[in-house]
């Protein structure tokens, strides 16, 4: 793609981004953006006076007074001028750090404008690091004296938790260790006294290494070489370019983008890799280390305070060369970012649903455009959005059609559950059972996939049929036998199984309805007692060290039968796995989700891709009640193009994304009448504009969430109409905060 005419995906409605010219403010009025979710006319920028002896420039971190406290913000502009000069408060101090880079500042303004959030709320994502502004000092941290001793002996559950946590994080400060292990400081003290753990002074070495740009990667196949050459040429040419690295699972996409990272490193610039679920990136990290001889800096919610602080500073100072992270890593203040990779770009996990609601994959493209750098989106099942961008010439497609080493795609089979019925109270059809018998007898590994955590999705009273429901949400409580409790998957509410029915008082007990992975595991244990079984769900896989150990045990064939949810679907490479059984292929197809079929195709295609990655061919069985559906037929034939053509046709006809634009407006509050009143008021004042359809209000499928009643509107716009313009006009002067509140979701991915 020619760099000069390359266009960003959203340029048609790009928010006005002021070009900030570096200028010194001495003794003058300045505008400081505070990392707070405050709106207001100046967008959260507050005016201060810069005393004459301070030389400040845009981007400087400054400590300023706010009410009775002080906090740290960023010098943003020359101020709004709405406060009289004599009432201005003085900046307290300039923080001794490099300035928040100009591109990062423009990015924050852009994201705030596009997502209709307060810039301060976006800035907060870029600054949410405690202590980062204090000068570095050495700190006291705990470590286990011996890991061997830790494995051999029997400890109290509390002590064991401390040792487990220290296995995941070699060093932890007291408060962090106590929090993660859920123990009191006394437990830590006693363990130190008995010599199990010891305190050391940490010299604050950064939690990452220096990747070596010159280290050789594996010899690439001709297709891989071709794709890698285009990437590296784009990097060398400089400027923006968006590329879709589209290759079947196992085709070597990771090896190819590693080449681009090597080139970026050789240019002395930083590279960012966004992954959907960083906690499961242990295998990815190992590969990176093997390729570059050092670990990259990581950025995700599991980091300790110390790790965050060191990493944040290192990113700002340009010392951290490669950052791998979850979506929030996009907002780090990169000193000189040269490349962005978004792996598994189709994953819905890139959409953040609370606070600032944004799609990290889309914002990564915007960030690349602002920084005039290349961005690579990688996937085996690209989103329709990205494929349409390829068709319109906005993205360049790089294809890797074959699996590395010639492994074949697995053969696909549909099992019609209406004919091939599982026995009563079981979930596996005779055909799937026979295939499992055969694979296990041949000494091969098998995977049973069911994307549903817990034991059963619904629990009923045997006597009156009462369904156990979350007290705070319109949702059933899910039984988790592993944790011995009932959980709400929407708000996190958890409780014990009641001893009597809350409705009729009967103590006759409860019946579980439908399967979750834990129940499926029960059936597998009965049916295949000799197979070494492993349940993989987010409830059982906790922490990177445990994840890595479990993945290793599968790779080394210490496991015969894996029973798992979607956490097993991605990225992992198990050469002995030849059989995949999808227990309920229809699971994701119900409900009003615009992308339900697309997601089902992506998820099941990825799960299927786990089979037959080694030398032995793989087989995949999909159990479904509706084998004639286009998505099932497409999976059967590995016919992605055919599926997408039907899907694109349907969406285009309905004016849905990516052919039209969508925004959701949600009214939520604790008082149902007030919520309805506000929703009706909005409906009465809905703007009538050409190319805009406003649907609703309707009760949200999750009509009550965390005790708040919810009504939804859907704003559907023609491609050339920006929903932000419609929404600004519509919601002007309406309270966005408070109770009830109005939430805006641009490009919604969740319709609950």
Residue whose CB is less far from Zn ion, 358 or 476: 476
Kindly write out the interface string for residues 342-371 of this chain, putting x where it contacts ligand ADP by CB under 6 A and - elsewhere: ------------------------------
Q: Which is nearer to ligand ADP, 176 or 223 (CB)?
A: 223
Does position 290 interact with ligand ADP (CB under 6 A)? The reply is no
Phi, psi torsion values for 604, nearest 5 degrees: -70, -35
**SS3 labels along 149-217:** HHHHCCCCHHHHHHHHHHHHCCCECHHHHHHHHCCCHHHHHHHHHCCCEEEEEECCCCCCCCCCCCCCC
Q: Is 612 in the site for ligand ADP (CB under 6 A)?
A: no
Q: Tell me how far, at minimum, the Cβ of 492 lies from Zn ion, in Å.
A: 7
Of 105-113, 472-480, 648-656, 721-729, the window that binds Zn ion (rule: CB under 5 A) is: 472-480
Q: Is 42 in the site for Zn ion (CB under 5 A)?
A: no
**Which one of ligand ADP, Zn ion, none interacts with residue 461, CB within 5 to 8 A by kind?**
Zn ion
Shortest distance (Å) from residue 342 CB to ligand ADP: 13
Within the chain, how many helices (H) and strands (E) appear? 20, 31
Helix (H, G, I), strand (E, B) or coil at 218: coil
Q: In whole angstroms, how close is the CB of 218 to ligand ADP at the nearest point?
A: 3
Pairing of strands 297-299, 322-325: parallel
Q: Using CA atoms, how far apart are residues 482 and 600, in angstroms rounded to an integer?
A: 27
The one segment of 10-18, 21-29, 251-259, 494-502 that binds Zn ion by CB under 5 A: 494-502
Return the number of the residue (251 or 537) whose C-beta is nearest ligand ADP. Answer: 251
- The helix (H) or strand (E) run that includes residue 580 is strand 577-582
| C-alpha span between 531 and 524 (Å, rounded) | 9
503 binds, among ligand ADP, Zn ion, none (CB under 5 to 8 A by kind): Zn ion
| Residue 283 sits in the site that holds ligand ADP (CB under 6 A) | no
Q: Does 263 bind ligand ADP (CB under 6 A)?
A: no
Judged by CB under 6 A, which of 573, 629, 718, 728 binds ligand ADP?
Answer: 573
Judged by CB under 6 A, does residue 224 bind ligand ADP?
yes
The site partner of 490 among ligand ADP, Zn ion, none (C-beta below 5 to 8 Å per kind) is Zn ion
Of residues 409-468, those binding Zn ion (CB under 5 A): 461, 463-464, 466
Is 618 a binder of ligand ADP (CB under 6 A)?
Answer: no
Please state at what angle helix 360-371 crosses helix 102-115, rounded to 10 degrees. Answer: 140
**Could you tell me if 377 and 386 are in contact, meaning their C-beta atoms sit under 8 angstroms apart?**
yes
Give the separation between CA 747 and CA 719, rounded to whole angstroms: 12
Q: Which stretch binds Zn ion (CB under 5 A): 151-159, 172-180, 499-507, 590-598?
A: 499-507
Backbone angles phi, psi at 75, to 5 degrees: -65, 120
Chain Cα centroid distance, residue 356:
14
Nearer to ligand ADP, 255 or 593 (CB): 255
Nearer to Zn ion, 143 or 466 (CB): 466
User: Within 13 Å of residue 573, how many CA atoms lie on the same side as its CB?
Assistant: 17
**CA-wise closest residue to 569 among 632, 633, 526, 517:** 517
Site size toward ligand ADP (CB under 6 A) is: 15
Q: Is 58 in the site for ligand ADP (CB under 6 A)?
A: no
Closest CA to 453 of 295, 563, 317: 563
Q: Which residues contact 645 (CB under 8 A, 6 or more apart)?
A: none
For ligand ADP, the binding residue among 49, 253, 570, 610 (CB under 6 A) is 253
CB 377 within 8 A of CB 242: yes
Identified binder of Zn ion from the candidate list 260, 330, 488, 583, rule CB under 5 A: 488
Q: What is the largest CA-CA distance in the chain?
A: 85
List the beta bridge partners of residue 329: none
- CA 664, 665, 670, 676 torsion-angle sign: negative
Which residue in 49, 346, 404, 711 binds ligand ADP (CB under 6 A)? 404
Which one of 36, 95, 220, 596 is in contact with ligand ADP (CB under 6 A)? 220
Under rule CB under 6 A, residue 602 binds ligand ADP:
no
Contact criterion met (CB below 8 Å) for 156 and 124: no
Report the residue from 113, 250, 410, 516 that binds ligand ADP according to the rule CB under 6 A. Answer: 250
By C-beta, is 275 or 373 nearer to ligand ADP? 275
The alpha-carbon radius of gyration of the chain (Å, integer) is: 27
Task: Verify cis geometry, omega within 30 degrees of 0, for the bond prior to 697.
Answer: yes
Q: How far is the CB of 635 from Zn ion (least distance, A)?
A: 33
Q: Which helix or strand (DSSP H or E) is residue 77 part of?
A: strand 69-77
Q: Using the minimum distance from each CB to ligand ADP, give the nearer residue, 613 or 710.
A: 613
How far is C-alpha 200 from the chain's CA centre?
A: 34
Q: Does 669 bind ligand ADP (CB under 6 A)?
A: no
Q: Which of 255, 259, 586, 598 binds ligand ADP (CB under 6 A)?
A: 255
Cβ-based nearer residue to ligand ADP, 83 or 548: 548
Binding status of residue 493 toward Zn ion by CB under 5 A: yes
- Which of ligand ADP, Zn ion, none is residue 102 near (CB under 5 to 8 Å by kind)? none
The smaller minimum CB distance to Zn ion, of residues 5 and 499, is found at: 499
Question: Residue 220's binding partner, choosing from ligand ADP, Zn ion, none, with beta-carbon cut-off 5 to 8 A by kind?
Answer: ligand ADP
Angle (CA) 149-153-154 rounded to 5° is 145
With tokens 């834990």, the residue in question is 518
The reply to whether 251 sits near ligand ADP by the rule CB under 6 A is yes
The one of Zn ion, ligand ADP, none whose footprint includes residue 352, by CB under 5 to 8 A per kind, is none
State the nearest-atom distance from the C-beta of 488 to Zn ion, in Å. 3
Tell whether residue 218 is a contact of ligand ADP (CB under 6 A).
yes
Q: Do 420 and 431 meet the contact criterion of CB atoms below 8 Å apart?
A: yes
Query: Could you tell me whether strands 660-669 and 619-624 are parallel, antiparallel, or unpaired per DSSP bridges?
Result: unpaired
Q: Which is nearer to ligand ADP, 244 or 520 (CB)?
A: 244
Choose, by CB under 6 A, the member of 44, 211, 241, 252 that binds ligand ADP: 252
C-alpha span between 581 and 214 (Å, rounded):
43
Phi, psi angles (nearest 5°) of residue 449:
-110, 125
Q: Which residues contact Zn ion by CB under 5 A?
A: 461, 463-464, 466, 470, 472-473, 488, 490-491, 493, 501, 503-504, 506
Q: Which residues contact ligand ADP by CB under 6 A?
A: 218-221, 224, 247, 249-255, 404, 573
């Amino acid at each position: 793609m020619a760099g000069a005419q390359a266009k960003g995906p959203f340029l048609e409605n790009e928010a006005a981004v002021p070009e900030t010219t570096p200028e010194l403010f001495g003794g003058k009025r300045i505008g400081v953006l505070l990392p707070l979710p405050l709106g207001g006319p100046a967008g959260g920028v507050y005016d201060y006076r810069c005393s004459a002896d301070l030389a400040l420039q845009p981007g400087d971190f400054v400590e300023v007074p706010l009410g009775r406290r002080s906090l740290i913000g960023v010098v943003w502009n020359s101020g709004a001028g709405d406060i009289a000069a004599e009432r201005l408060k003085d900046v307290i101090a300039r923080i001794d750090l490099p300035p928040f880079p100009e591109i990062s500042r423009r990015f924050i303004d852009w994201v705030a404008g596009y997502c209709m959030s307060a810039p301060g709320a976006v800035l907060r994502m870029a600054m949410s690091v405690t202590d980062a502004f204090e000068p570095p000092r050495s700190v006291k941290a705990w470590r286990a004296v011996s890991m061997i001793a830790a494995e051999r002996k029997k400890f109290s559950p509390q002590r064991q938790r401390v040792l487990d946590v220290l296995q995941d994080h070699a060093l932890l400060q007291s408060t962090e260790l106590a929090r993660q292990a859920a123990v009191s400081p006394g437990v830590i003290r006693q363990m130190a006294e008995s010599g199990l753990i010891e305190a050391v002074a940490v010299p604050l070495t950064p939690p990452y290494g220096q990747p070596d740009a010159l280290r050789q990667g594996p010899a690439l196949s001709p297709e891989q070489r071709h794709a890698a050459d285009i990437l590296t040429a784009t990097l060398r040419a400089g400027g923006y370019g968006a590329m879709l690295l589209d290759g079947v699972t196992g085709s070597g996409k990771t090896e190819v983008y590693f080449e681009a990272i090597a080139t970026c490193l050789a240019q002395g610039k930083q590279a960012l890799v966004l992954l959907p679920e960083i906690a499961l990136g242990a295998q990815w990290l190992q590969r990176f280390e093997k390729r570059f001889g050092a670990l990259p800096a990581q950025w995700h919610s599991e980091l300790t305070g110390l790790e965050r602080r060191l990493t944040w500073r290192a990113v700002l100072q340009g010392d951290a060369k490669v950052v791998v992270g979850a979506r929030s890593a996009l907002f780090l203040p990169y000193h000189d970012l040269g490349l962005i990779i978004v792996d598994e770009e189709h994953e819905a996990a890139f959409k953040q649903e609370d606070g600032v609601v944004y799609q990290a994959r889309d914002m990564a493209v915007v960030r690349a455009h602002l920084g005039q750098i290349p961005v690579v989106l990688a996937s085996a099942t690209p989103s329709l959005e990205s494929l349409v961008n390829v068709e319109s010439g906005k993205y360049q497609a790089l294809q890797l059609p074959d699996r590395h080493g010639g492994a074949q795609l697995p053969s696909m089979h549909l099992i019609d559950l209406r004919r091939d019925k599982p026995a009563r109270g079981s979930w596996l059809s005779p055909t799937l059972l026979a295939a499992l018998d055969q694979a296990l007898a041949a000494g091969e590994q098998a995977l049973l996939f069911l994307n549903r955590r817990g034991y059963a999705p619904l629990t009923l009273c045997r006597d009156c049929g009462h369904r156990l429901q979350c007290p705070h949400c319109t949702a059933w409580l899910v039984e988790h036998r592993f944790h011995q409790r009932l959980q709400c998957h929407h708000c996190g509410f958890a409780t014990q199984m009641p001893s009597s029915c809350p409705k009729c008082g009967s103590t006759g007990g409860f019946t579980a309805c439908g399967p979750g992975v834990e129940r499926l595991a029960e059936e597998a244990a009965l049916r295949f007692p000799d197979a070494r079984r492993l349940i993989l769900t987010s409830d059982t896989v906790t922490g990177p060290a445990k994840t890595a150990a479990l993945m290793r045990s599968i790779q080394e064939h210490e496991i015969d039968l894996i029973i798992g949810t979607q956490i097993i679907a991605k990225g992992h490479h198990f050469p002995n796995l030849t059989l995949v059984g999808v227990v309920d292929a229809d699971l994701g197809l119900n409900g009003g989700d615009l992308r339900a079929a697309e997601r089902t195709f992506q998820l099941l295609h990825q799960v299927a891709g786990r089979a037959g990655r080694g030398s032995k061919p793989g087989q995949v069985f999909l159990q479904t009640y509706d084998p004639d559906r286009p998505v099932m037929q497409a999976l059967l034939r590995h016919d992605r193009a055919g599926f997408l053509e039907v899907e694109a046709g349907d969406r285009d006809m309905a004016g849905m994304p990516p052919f039209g634009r969508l925004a959701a407006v949600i009214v939520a509050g604790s008082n149902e009448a007030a919520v309805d009143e506000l929703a009706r008021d909005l409906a009465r004042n809905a703007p009538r504009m050409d190319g805009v359809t406003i649907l609703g209000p309707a009760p949200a499928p999750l009509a009550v969430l965390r005790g708040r009643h919810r009504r939804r509107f859907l704003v559907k716009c023609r491609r050339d109409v920006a929903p932000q313009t419609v929404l600004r006009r519509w919601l002007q002067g309406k309270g966005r905060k408070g109770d009830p509140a109005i939430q805006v979701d641009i490009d919604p991915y969740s319709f609950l």
